[in-house]
Structure 1
Amino acid sequence: MSHHNKELAKEQELLTTFIKNSNTPYEIAVFAGGCFWPMEEVFEKVDGVLRVESGYTGGHKKNPTYEEVGSQTTGHLESVEVLYNPHQLTYEDLLQVYWRSIDPTDAEGQFADRGSEYRTAVFYSSKEQKELAEASRDELAASKRFKQPIVTKIAAASTFYKAETEHQDYYKKNPLQHGLTELASGRDSFLNSAWGKDREVKLHAKIGFNQAFDKEEKLKTLTKHQFNVTQRDFEDPPFENEYWANEEEGIYVDIVSGEPLFSSQDQFDAGTGWPSFTKPLESNNIVLKPDPGLFSSSTQVRSRHADSFLGHVFDDGPKPTGLRYCINSSSMIFIPAAELDKSGYGEYAGQFAKEKLPSES
């Protein structure tokens, strides 16, 4: 296995552990919308989506290759598997994103990509998904937005075969080539013409905390170092940051948005000089991303709503999760347990309520 594939496998393992130890009931949606490169980009930018993978599904060949699917002998369609948080957005939201990203009247492919492997389809994994997909398709047909009939198939999901490494996050790895290809495809001009001002989807996403924030204004209040850490991916110096040895009870929130991130109950001394945690307080508010450094193989931890750089996650932590979230103090504000109510985080106060001794009851 190549070094790059080993790092991808490590990243996948971290993500799997993150999901396993999360209280969030992540769900999966599968869509075929022509070439999977632009479709992956479309869904990865949706707030509430944790991961998007390119692959092949709908056909009969086991473990197909890109070349085999392209030969149109496998029955598979290029597709994307979307892992999302139903507490943040709905399956209907994803359907609306999907319809605004394809030509549902094209039975021979999508835009510049011609062939059966580029046909469109929604693959459902439950009765609810099937009913929602069919209702969404019928509503689109009734709107008369398109002059031609809707031909996108609604079909039961089958095995999803992950595409080769070079096809994952293609738009990130080859931004210039991808941009030029998309420009030449005519996709944007077609969708702008078809949807106009309605092309932008109004999602039903839940923000996950009650405090509104103005990011631009909040950034003005940060120190130069706090700005560099949260916005430019700098690191705090080890053993010389505010919370590395904090033993007080309470929670840590994002310094920009205020979204809850970690709890002192999950904090431990990793001996590294940075605050370390076994798991997030609210996994909804945490995003894991590959570190963009040229020679880096680590996984970044960022806040979902403020997109603050928080630190990194490693797989050398203690049980039960086996993870170590190594976080910069400068990215967070600590709210002591005694101040949670008045600070607007009263819902977490119960976690720190001390049990009364028998003599006190």
Structure 2
Amino acid sequence: MSSDVSASPDVAGGIVFDDVSKTFPSRKAAATTALRGVSLDIRPGTIHGVIGYSGAGKSTLIRLVNGLEKPTSGRVVVGGTDIAALRGARLRAAQKSTGMIFQQFNLLSTLRVRDNVALPLRLDGVSADEARTRADEVLEVVGLSAKAESQPGDLSGGQKQRVGIARALARNPRVLLADEATSALDPTTTTQIIDLLRTINRDFGTTILVVTHEMDVIKDLADEVAVMADGQVVEQGPVLDLFVRPRAQITRDFVSTVIPQGLPDRVLEHLGHDGLWRLLLLDDQVTQPLVSSLVTDVGVTANMLHADMTEIGAHTVGQMILKIEGSSRQVADAQAFLRPRVAHFEEVTG
């Protein structure tokens, strides 16, 4: 095994789910279908998010990638290899090219940090010296060289997750699987772990598949996202597209946790629904003097009720909710003025 932590994975890091279904039989009750006809194409070297509520099938999906589960139908192809077709030594060899990051860290409390990281290599038969050397390399990558001799119980939650990431990197995998890897962390530590995963992806070309129920994680980490519900993919595409133009209601619900989609009921009761407009602005559009232009050039009255701005990947997304009043002609002119100047325009109905 190469000890060069900077070696980039090759194009074999892609993952394809081809019409995958998974049913768990039961002797005492009806069978449970966890996945229904899932098709995804995850390009090598990208970060792909899968989001959904509990029971959506996310964890089952991720366990198919490293062969811990096998599909009932369909294929899961990792690096050009149908994982479900492998058995025994061939499966174990393929699993070494996939690292797993867990929600609860899964560190052995009786082993020091360095030995926790080296454990997968020792199980592979790698010598103690080589395994520890490799462990030190990946501990440096995650910024924990100084903690190599510490016990897991002496670490913070974020440090424990960094150890888990180092352990996942020990075999120099082409693919990293992150199963709710930030759910047990506070917001500041979550940001640090997201930054670390992005650095690993950028520096080593590692394909990362992350499953989560947190849209903030998708916003800050993923390049593309699939939204799951009841074992099916209901919507998928580039993260920015799903934020700007969500189609499925569940996607709108997730997006609203980051970008609110409407106004409080009390405000709506006071103002009514007429003339309430929601604008989404992208990148340079956020610097336009839209409200002042509506007032001075179009002649309507514009009351800004809500405004916010966020970063999604390399893009800036701004939002405004306006109350517009004026004559029918002025309102029509205001819409005509706004539509070519914003990424998305809609009337707020609730």
Does TM, normalized by the shorter one, top 0.5? no
Between Structure 1 and Structure 2, the one with more helix by share is 2
RCO higher in 1 or 2 (8 Å CA, sep ≥ 6)? 2
